[in-house]
Structure 1
Amino acid sequence: MIPQLKKLLEWNLLSYNKDSYALTPTGEAIVDNMEKLLMSLDVHENNMDYWIDHDLSPIPKELLYRIGELGECEVLEPNLPSIFEQQEEMLKRINGSSHISTFISIYHPSYLLPYSSFLDQGVDVSVIMTDQVYNIFKDDTHSQIDGPFSENSLSQSLKKEYEKEIGILLNGGNSDISIYKDRTKPVSITVSDQCMSFSLLDKNGRCTNRIILSSEPTAIKWGEELFNYYKSRSEILSD
């Protein structure tokens, strides 16, 4: 190791004093950057198919440079026989959280329903929706049931329950809703004190329903910064 140590001393990356070697400030900076590089390479290598196939442009550069903070993350893929299995798994992961933040840019009637039960438990819920998604939810809660189901008591009951649950979220004291109108957006982000997840469109602009998920503290902090990045570019929904 002596020749290598001599080189590091010559390059001012190591200092020597009283038979002891230590990193210089320059050496510490390089090691710190090297650690971040190795972390980023690990994240990329462990889920290479996802990163290759998906459009990463919605992630701001400062967070993309810190992608290694996701640590041990996994890809959740929907199981075709049970299309809601993926959402059920996510709900299990965030159960017991004190706060939940979510960004919704693709409409599905079931996406917002679980959050009303979290509000009932005293959980703070923060939601960002695109203006297109918000308008669809708003129209859904004011639309009439037409056709052969208009006289069906079960259909009417389900619609009333749906309107009630959405109303709890939109008007709940522990919730805040923001509307995002910019064109650049991820498909979804969900962050709690238990875990974080996000999904992106593929490089052809299609939704793949594949979700990156991690429960590591550094990943949760990273996810909170990503969510807040979009929240700072959104408008709080006024009554």
Structure 2
Amino acid sequence: MGIKLMKKQITEVLLASDKRKNILLLLQEGPLKMETLFESLDTTRSALLPQIKILRENHLIFKSQDTYELTTIGKLIVEEMVSFLSTAEMFGGNCEYFGTHFIDFIPPLFLKKLSQIGVGEVMEVSAEDFYDVDKEFLGKALESHEWLEITSALHPTFHDFYMEMIDHVTEVSVIITQEVYEKAKQEYYDDFKELIDLDLISIYMYPESPGFTSFIVAGQSIKFRLLTLKGVHDNKSISFSGPGALEWGRELFEYYRRQSVPIIEV
């Protein structure tokens, strides 16, 4: 019973006041003086002292000489709080998109780290313009000489797209579904065989449906085209940028590559 009451009390301490939450977040960077705290929070000493008192009474912070810092309990709680706030911000900024699209394919390990990719940008383009948007995204690959792609769809001009890409990008790796593999082999045999024989692009076959339309890692960005909750393609995509998104995207690509088979001949 005592543990349950303490948890409820700590929860109230964290959620009932933005000032207390912000104090903890500031102290995550290290010990700070009172003057630095109220200047950073744009408040007064008299307004801050009651919040400091509550945090000290709940053993989340302590005072050492003229500075305040997190206790061990405070450090553990703030670490989890930062993860929660980042995840809430990521979903909150794109709530409509994520709420209407399928994301259950994301492995649990990657769901736990989803907060690191930041807030995304949703784009809506016509179906015929999707390929042109990918060509614009190709410019990002030139920054890092890397293009990683997983796709369950095949554009009729895929050959020209990848041929242009390998002239400029050092690492080009593409994972396709078995359905795309069969379609490329049957309907675009010569073009497909040329890409395989060039040995300048790594193509893999994923044996199952990945649960999304496509996923791209290029430059410092990643981009998803997700299926709707009804399991159909639509004309929307969502992209994320930054080191956290790049690291998460590369790891997700490797997760699928490990389960895929290299295509070395047609």
Q: Which TM-score band (shorter chain)?
A: 0.7 to 0.9
Give unmatched runs, 5+ long, in structure 2.
1-47
Where in structure 2 are the equivalents of 1:15-34 lying within 5 Å? 15-34=62-81
Which residue identity is paired with 1:4? Q
Aligned partner of residue 69 in structure 1, secondary structure: helix
Q: Which runs of 5+ in 1 are unaligned?
A: 143-162
Which amino acid in the other structure matches residue 214 of structure 1? F
Are 1:179 and 2:208 an aligned pair? Answer: no
Distance change >3 Å, CA 4–CA 108, structure 1 → 2: same
Q: 1:170 aligns with which of 196, 216, 221?
A: 196
What is the TM-score when the length of structure 2 is the normalising length? 0.73
Match of 1:108 among 144, 155, 172: 155
Is 1:224 the counterpart of 2:250 in the alignment? Answer: yes
> Matches of residues 32-43 of structure 1 in structure 2 within 5 Å?
32-43=79-90
- Whether 1:131 and 2:157 are equivalent positions in the alignment is no
Q: How far off its partner does 1:217 sit?
A: 1.5
Q: Secondary structure at the match of 1:187?
A: strand
Aligned twin of 2:239: 213
The answer to whether the Cα contact below 8 Å between 1:195 and 1:216 also exists between their aligned partners in 2 is yes
Deviations along 1:206-238, one digit per CA (max 9) or x if unpaired, are: 011311112212111111122112112212224
Relative to 1, partners in 2 of residues 1:103 and 1:81: Cα closer, same or farther, differing over 3 Å? closer
Greater relative CO (CA pairs within 8 A, separation 6+): 1
Q: Give the counterpart letter for 1:182 in structure 2.
A: E
The structure carrying a bigger helix percent of its residues is: 2
| Paired residue type of 2:116 | E
The code of the aligned residue for 1:135 comes to E
**Displacement, 1:27?**
1.4
Is contact 2:101-2:227 (8 Å) kept? yes
The answer to which of 78-87 and 40-49 deviates more is 78-87
Q: CA RMSD in A?
A: 2.3
Structure with max Cα Rg: 2
Q: What secondary structure is seen at the aligned counterpart in 1 of 2:188?
A: helix
Identify the match of residue 141 of structure 1 among 169, 172, 188.
188
Alignment partners' CA distance in 2, 1:88 and 1:118: 9
- The count of residues paired between Structure 1 and Structure 2 equals 218
Deviations 1:181-218 (A, max 9, x none): 13443221110234211111100000113111122121
Displacement of 1:141 in angstroms is 2.9
Is residue 67 of structure 1 aligned with residue 121 of structure 2? no
- State the 1:112 CA deviation: 5.0
Which AA in structure 2 matches 1:43?
M
Determine what percentage of the aligned residue pairs are the same residue.
Answer: 29
- Taking structure 1 as the reference length, the TM-score comes to 0.80
Letter in 2 for 1:217: P
Q: Name whichever of 12-21 and 218-227 sits farther off.
A: 12-21
